[in-house]
Amino acid sequence: MQRRDFIKGIVLSAATAWSHAVQAQQRDKIYRVGLLTNGALMGSTDERRKNLVSALAAQGFVEGRNLILEQRSADAQPRRLVGLVKELEAANVDVIVTFGYPPALTAKNSATGIPVVVTGAGDPVATGLVDGLAKPGGHLTGVTELSGDLSTKRLEILKDALPNLRRVAMLWNADDFGMTLRYQSAQTAAGVIGVNVQALGVREPDDFDRAFAEMHASGPTLFSW
């Protein structure tokens, strides 16, 4: 099994669109997949992990048989991500799968010669992760998303459902450029439809108390991510 076939399986799992099963040529090889997240460690019931494991199993890569998952999480401390990438390199992973923009950017800049599959990082072109969708460049690939457009559409749907809507609180990770772009798209749409936005960007766990206190002090507000 060539490495590109292995990476293809991961990309398809992230997009939930599968190709026909690829026949393995080297069934004795054990593949190592690094999972990198800025949040908490993904447990066995985490839907992202379950989908990945299920999709890879459909391609012939079975955890405990010829597949080992090496998980690393920064626990909301993005400064740890560089060290975690180095740990995955030391573990000789074949590919790194990232969840969110900060892990994707760190893996792009820090991983040496290891393919990186990006998920949940927003528009990869707008964030500068890749040069373009047709030719990403470098060692990074993955799944793009229309999160900015979707954020705008969600706000429009809220306005349709609640015609008297005047204010929406938006809470997002201000250290995540992908999430920031989603917020900016929604903020622009809010101005067009006559809705005021209470911006509540957070960076550290302790910021949540402050954000919710500000939200409560502002009076009745619809909450959105």
The CATH number for 40's domain is: 3.40.50.2300
Q: In this predicted structure, what is the pLDDT of residue 95?
A: 93
| Residue 19 banded pLDDT, cuts 50, 70, 90 | very low
Name the strand (E) or helix (H) holding 215: helix 207-217
Neighbouring C-beta atoms of residue 75, cutoff 10 Å: 12
Q: In which residue are the tokens 């373009």 written? A: 132
Tokens in use for 97? 């799968």
CA 13 to chain centre: 14
88 and 63 in one domain? yes
204 and 109 in one domain? no
How much is the pTM? Answer: 0.66
Question: What is d(CA 143, CA 3) in angstroms, rounded to the nearest whole number?
Answer: 18
> Which of 142, 166, 195 is a domain's end point?
142
39 and 129 in one domain? yes
Which whole number is the average pLDDT over 194-203?
82
Is residue 37's pLDDT more than 90?
Answer: yes
88 and 169 in one domain? no
> Which of 109, 142, 175 is a domain's end point?
142
73 and 166 in one domain? no
158 and 137 in one domain? no
Domain with 194, as residue range(s), is 147-224
39 and 121 in one domain? yes
26 and 127 in one domain? yes
Question: What is d(CA 145, CA 88) in angstroms, rounded to the nearest whole number?
Answer: 26
List strands edge to edge, sheet with 31-37. Answer: 67-73, 31-37, 95-99, 116-119, 140-142
Report the number of distinct structural domains present in the chain: 2
The model's pLDDT over 65-124, given as tens digits with 9 standing for 90+, comes to: 999 999 999 988 888 999 999 999 999 999 999 998 899 999 999 988 899 998 888 778
155 and 128 in one domain? no
Q: Tell me which long-range contacts 45-50 makes (C-beta under 8 A, separation of at least 24).
A: 48/99, 48/119
Q: In this predicted structure, what is the pLDDT of residue 13?
A: 57
Which whole number is the average pLDDT over 162-171?
83
Please name the residues in contact with 57: beta carbons below 8 A apart, sequence gap of 6 or more: 63
Question: What is d(CA 132, CA 112) in angstroms, rounded to the nearest whole number?
Answer: 21
137 and 163 in one domain? no
> Which of 93, 108, 142 is a domain's end point?
142
Angle formed at CA 44 by CA 38 and CA 46, multiple of 5 degrees: 55
| Residue 34 banded pLDDT, cuts 50, 70, 90 | very high
Neighbouring C-beta atoms of residue 183, cutoff 10 Å: 23
Question: What is d(CA 147, CA 79) in angstroms, rounded to the nearest whole number?
Answer: 25
78 and 44 in one domain? yes
